Every structure is written in structure tokens, then in C-alpha cells.
Structure 1
């Protein structure tokens, strides 16, 4: 269910189709970071060395050609890794340490302070990163902004327990989500730009400039504008694993866990929150998600080390009312006001224009099943008539 509470600026295009661009697999591949997928479809990932226990490689997977190793680093097992689009800067965290890697050098963030790191986020260029953490007793929670040298730019105490953090692609703003549903947006001068609150904990947050903040909370995903107003909220089945969007929130991607070893990728329209495409992963649990800045590629990492990159195709957006009208006319034809053939023709035309309309796809499947049953019934009736005439 999608609830649109306000209208975002009109978009002239929507996702019309999605193709699998390529898959790559490397044992132990870390979950994709939020800006790992680039505008050309390439994806950056951290892959452990097959021989050295503490060594890992920063690898660039390409739509064509073999993977390329950008650099190798040595560190203890990291819980989360965030990589810049160039691959020259990345950060990684354990439960109580945050490391900054730049030009094959490693530095420890806040080396004089003991902390439990809840979440980390890196800007697209790697020049800024944000993190939320608490003290060892989980009594005080803090958000901090740092740069690529590992220097602390500022820290800010939070009046709530933080659960998620995100940094805009240009590093100008940082979003912080809380366990009680709080959502704050701060600029890089530590000023609070907006505040919003949901009834449930913030599971994940993402930022599209200063105009849109995307969040996952309470069994769904939503978008708020620069004034902190909720634009829409869409219910999602499963537990949110990761959240992503492009530079202007044209498309919102949600990665959810639907079972212990299964999950689903859902693409939502950034304008109204309506689902436009989804795919299930039944054999391996999804672990990470990335959306390219131009919104043309989406990457998903799986627990078995597979990286899947999808190509999104956009086209002229048909009004929602047009789609509803087609479905209504097709249903009327199925119920006896027309014919099954007419319903099939209507639905095929709709899917020709909007291949991602899964409701039209489901209705077409039902209509073809009805047509098959009718054909079998007519065939059986014809046989009975033939037997009667022969007698």
C-alpha cells in the first residue's frame, strides 16, 4: 500500500523496464556500499584475499572485462565498508573502531576515544564521512563528521539513540535516524536543517541532496521534503536490509529480507512511492544495495558473494489514471461486458507501454488462464456434439 500525502515535483519519466546487466561472484564479497555502483554500471566491492587472513582487495567489477584490483589493504574483519566512487578513499568499521583508508594508508578515527559504532556513511567523493556511535555503556549517543584524512571536523550529542546515518553524495548534509523514530538532517556546519519523526525505529536512511530524505521505518519506506513533510509512505514486506536512491530521488530502491535465507529488491517511484519493479532472491540472502547517481543502475550483493547489477530503462510516464482505466476496462471485459480477447489485447498494449506494471501482468496471466479453460470447455463440448451426430 502506498499513501501519498503530498506531491513531489512532477517527473516526466518513470522506470519502464529493468534488465540484468551482469553478475560477478567472489567468495566473501562484502556488502555493497551505498555509492559503489557508478554511472557506467561498474561496481566497487571489498573482497577478502584467498590466502592471507587479514588482507582484502578493493575490486572494480565491470560490465565488460575481468575484475580489476584497485588496492590491497590489511585490517581486522570489518563489519561495514563504505567506498568512494573513485575507489581511492574508503572507510570501514568494527564494533569499536573506525578506519579511514586513503592512498594505501590507514588511520584510526577518534583514536583517543572508546566507542561503539552503530553506522557509518561516506560521501561520493570520499572527502567527508559521517558516523553515529555511543559510549561503552550505550548511555550517550553522538554523530560525528570527518574528512578523508581521518580528522574530526565536529561532533554533536544526540538526545536519542541513533540507529542509522547517511551522507549526501556531495557531503553537504548528513541524515541521522533514531531508534525511537527520530530523523534529523544536519548541514556540514553542524546546524540542524530539519526534524521529522515516525512512530517506529529508523532502520535505514538515504539522502538526495537537500530536498529529499528517504527512510525505512515501521514496515515501509517513505520520503520527506526539505520542510520535513512526509510526501509518501509505502508498506514493504520483510525487514529492511538497505535503502538507496539516485541523486534526485527519481527512483527509490529497498532491499528487504523476507526469510532467513531469502530477500527481495523493490523499486519505488520517487514521485509517489508506487512499486514499479521487484525481484526475489530465494537461494541467497541479500546483504547490500547501491544506486548509481544517474539512477540507471542498481547493484545488489548476496551472501554467497554474488554481485548483481541491473540496468533501469526510463520512458515517458503514463498517468496513473490511464493505468487504472485500462485495468478497469480489462476487468469489465473479463466479467462479460466484452470478451476475453478484448481484455488480452488491452493488457498486452498496456504492458507494451509500461512493462513494469505488475498488476497488468498478473491480470493478463489470469485472463489467459480463463481463455485456456474456455477453450478446453469448448473442445470438450465439440467432441460431445460430434459423438452425438455420429450416433
Structure 2
């Protein structure tokens, strides 16, 4: 019997590792009456902002600091101290505790972007105009106009210091300076996604069948790469230096590109990968697909864990340090995860009724409850084509290892 003790120890260790692979949210925010339209996350994951039929600010532990009326888009500085919401009555800036900092404009704005340092806030509207503000909400520069004719701003982004602003409409990609001066434009039919490197070196735009990569430092247009996709681009995100870009596509895969648009690897998803995000250094990648799955991968393409969501993800963000992931869903539910492959204590936030005057209505979190669904470690690995196959997660191999160990123990017992 003594000869079996080492095997028993290994078996127990593997069982413990298998259990640890299950992932649970740090908190779950309950469903509202509408989808989560946007989500912003601070660099250290301490502040989360949700946009949609309600605009909500929460902290890492799930405490809700403010709940307001509809926000079309949300943005946040890297440190989480400046939060912007694009609303139907203009731009509104908030402190992380839910207190309103300032407001600007009175007309509806549909898009907002905040520079990493918090010193620049840009809004876009359905007429194709961009308004540029400083971190306190004061107008700077001139109003930027994408086209002479009225056109809706579809996507909006700015760099860490706000020196470069990128925007799209249904006809193409446009680059502006912080002063509102047009730098160049690139014709691109019906863009579906936009990404701008925080250091201002690269800008990427995705569409129905490709991703185009441009040099964002030039005063004139320079295309530096292109990647052909097997379907529409649903999600696009890039690292701080623009050397790594993750793409989610309609042909059910997530792909990592280098700065020239060359595929480093692709990983299969169960359905259209409509949302993607990655950390500042590109080491942690998240993908949300329409089969209601959240998948988390390392930079080498290894799948670390996945989670079954209650609805398909409509908003996704990875904290700059790569330690936290925020996800919002079609049914209005949102989650905050730690990227570590260990179970975490969960907390549900009780429903709150937004105040019509924009005053926070709840500042406390409800008692801890169990989330609706628990995630499980990945149990399958599909073969990849056209690009190098990423390393598979070790977790899928554990059932086979346990079976072999069980057989060895049975044989050893019979011999004894």
C-alpha cells in the first residue's frame, strides 16, 4: 500500500488543479432593461464604467458609486480618475465616486474617447463632427468635421497624450491633431472596428473582409500592412506600441497580428468573435463570441480559461496591467473577472433605479451571492490552419492523465 501513496498524492494534486481551473466573476451586475453598449476599465481594474440604458460606475469589489440615465458611449483615463459619458444632452465628466465633474454641450453625442493621461476628451456625433475638450471639460482646438456632408461618427479613439485622434464613418478612416486639424484620410468602405496605438505609431481599421494598418505618425497617408479575413471584423484592439493587434472575425476565430498585419496565430471560437480586447503589453487577450463564450488567452495563443455568459457579449475590456477583464452582455448583465485561473469570491450588485436628475441612487453593494453561471476550463482544442498552431492549455489533458493514473493504481492494487 505504501507504493500507492506517491500516486495518490499526484492524483489529489491534479484534482486540485482541475478544480482551480474553474473561473468565477469577482462580481456580477444584474440585468437591466437593455444591453450593455460600452464598458471602460482603468489600468489597474479598480474602476469600471458601464454604458447603455443606464450609465453606472463601480469599483473592483462591486460597490456601485453612481447610476444615471442613458449613456451612448463611455471612456476613462488610465488611472480611472476621469470618466466621460456621451449622452443625448452632451458630454458629462465624472469622478470615480460618481460625482459629476463637469458638462459640455447640449446636443446629443454618440461617441467619446479619453486619452490615457486624462488630458484630452473627444466626442463624436451623428453629423460627423468632433469636439475636443481638456480634462476639465473646457473646449480646446477647433471643431473637426469628417466630411462636408452629414455623416455619423462610427468609431473614435485617441492616444495616451491626446496628440492623435482617429475616427471613422461609413466611408473611411480620418486622423486629426489635438487642435482639430485634419491630417489625412483613407477611403475604407463600411468600417466595423477601429484601434489606435496609445503611443500614436499605428492605427488599424477593420471591415467586411480585411484589416488595414497605417502609420499614424505621418502627416500623409502611409499603409504599412493589411490582413485579409474570412468574414467581417467584429472586434479590433492593439497594444500600447502597436506591435500586436488582436482581431475577432465572423469566420469564428480570433487572430493575433504583428505590426505589418502578418498573422502570428489564430484560435477558433464557437461563433462570430464580435468583441476582443488585450492588455497594454499584449500579454493577455480576451475574446467574446456570439455563442455566449468569454475566452482568455496568453500572447502565445494558449487558452487559459473560458466562461459561459448568460447572453452574447456586447462590450469587453482588459485592464492595462492585464489582471482584470470587464464584460457586458446583450441582456444587460455585466461581470468583472480576475485573469488568474483561480476561483474568486463573488458579489452581486442589487438593482438600482436611475435618478432622472443624474444623481447617484445607490452607493452600497449587496450581500455576496453566487453568480448565475460558473465558468469551466476549456476541454477541447481544435486544429488551426494557415498560421502556426498555438500551444494548447494543459487543462484539457488532465482528464486523460487522471484516467491513466487510475488504471495504474488499479493494476498496482491487484499485484499487491
TM-score, normalised to structure 2, is: 0.61
**C-alpha distance in structure 2 between counterparts of 1:326 and 1:17, whole Å:** 13
- 2:209 matched residue in structure 1: 180
Structure 1 segments unaligned to the other structure (5+ residues): 1-14, 135-140, 343-391
- 1:42 matched residue in structure 2: 47
Task: Go from structure 1 to structure 2 and tell me whether the alpha carbon gap of 1:17 and 1:86 turns closer, same or farther (over 3 Å shift).
Answer: farther
1:109 aligns with 2:144: yes
- 2:246 matched residue in structure 1: 214
Choose the corresponding residue for 2:327, options 300, 313, 317: 300
- The alpha-carbon deviation at position 206 of structure 1 amounts to 1.3
Map residues 278-317 of structure 1 onto 2, 5 A cutoff. 278-282=306-310, 286-302=313-329, 307-313=334-340
Choose the corresponding residue for 1:225, options 249, 258, 265: 258
1:332 aligns with 2:404: yes
- 2:228 matched residue in structure 1: 197
Task: Go from structure 1 to structure 2 and tell me whether the alpha carbon gap of 1:179 and 1:292 turns closer, same or farther (over 3 Å shift).
Answer: same
Choose the corresponding residue for 2:89, options 54, 62, 65: 54
**C-alpha distance in structure 1 between counterparts of 2:21 and 2:164, whole Å:** 35
- The alpha-carbon deviation at position 175 of structure 1 amounts to 0.8
Partner-residue secondary structure (3-state), 2:192:
strand
Task: Go from structure 1 to structure 2 and tell me whether the alpha carbon gap of 1:129 and 1:270 turns closer, same or farther (over 3 Å shift).
Answer: same
Map residues 1-391 of structure 1 onto 2, 5 A cutoff. 20-22=25-27, 31-32=37-38, 36-44=41-49, 47=55, 49-50=68-69, 54=89, 57-59=92-94, 61=96, 66-103=97-134, 104-105=137-138, 108-110=143-145, 113-114=148-149, 115-134=151-170, 141-158=171-188, 161-189=190-218, 190-208=221-239, 209-217=241-249, 218-258=251-291, 263-272=292-301, 274-282=302-310, 286-302=313-329, 307-313=334-340, 326-333=398-405, 336-339=407-410
Deviates more, 1:166-175 or 1:118-127: 118-127
**C-alpha distance in structure 2 between counterparts of 1:240 and 1:281, whole Å:** 14
Instruction: Tell me the alpha carbon deviations over residues 28-74 of structure 1, each in whole angstroms, 9 at most, x when there is no partner.
Output: 896335x643225223456385499625643455xxxx434343344
Task: Go from structure 1 to structure 2 and tell me whether the alpha carbon gap of 1:100 and 1:264 turns closer, same or farther (over 3 Å shift).
Answer: farther
Instruction: Tell me the alpha carbon deviations over residues 164-204 of structure 1, each in whole angstroms, 9 at most, x when there is no partner.
Output: 21101222210122212243343321322222212322222
- The alpha-carbon deviation at position 275 of structure 1 amounts to 2.3
Partner-residue secondary structure (3-state), 2:153:
strand
Instruction: Tell me the alpha carbon deviations over residues 130-184 of structure 1, each in whole angstroms, 9 at most, x when there is no partner.
Output: 12224xxxxxx332112333332222334x5533211012222101222122433
Give the RMSD, CA atoms, in angstroms: 3.8
**C-alpha distance in structure 2 between counterparts of 1:285 and 1:314, whole Å:** 22
Largest Rg, 1 or 2: 1
Partner-residue secondary structure (3-state), 1:32:
strand
TM-score, normalised to structure 1, is: 0.64
Partner-residue secondary structure (3-state), 2:290:
strand
Structure with more of its chain in strand, by fraction: 1
**C-alpha distance in structure 2 between counterparts of 1:119 and 1:242, whole Å:** 14
Task: Go from structure 1 to structure 2 and tell me whether the alpha carbon gap of 1:125 and 1:312 turns closer, same or farther (over 3 Å shift).
Answer: farther
Task: Go from structure 1 to structure 2 and tell me whether the alpha carbon gap of 1:57 and 1:255 turns closer, same or farther (over 3 Å shift).
Answer: farther
**C-alpha distance in structure 1 between counterparts of 2:242 and 2:275, whole Å:** 20
Structure 2 segments unaligned to the other structure (5+ residues): 1-19, 56-66, 71-86, 343-390
Task: Go from structure 1 to structure 2 and tell me whether the alpha carbon gap of 1:147 and 1:242 turns closer, same or farther (over 3 Å shift).
Answer: farther
Task: Go from structure 1 to structure 2 and tell me whether the alpha carbon gap of 1:187 and 1:117 turns closer, same or farther (over 3 Å shift).
Answer: same
**C-alpha distance in structure 2 between counterparts of 1:173 and 1:201, whole Å:** 21
Task: Go from structure 1 to structure 2 and tell me whether the alpha carbon gap of 1:305 and 1:93 turns closer, same or farther (over 3 Å shift).
Answer: farther
- 2:84 matched residue in structure 1: none
Structure 1 contact 36–85 (Cα < 8 Å) conserved: no
**C-alpha distance in structure 2 between counterparts of 1:265 and 1:321, whole Å:** 15
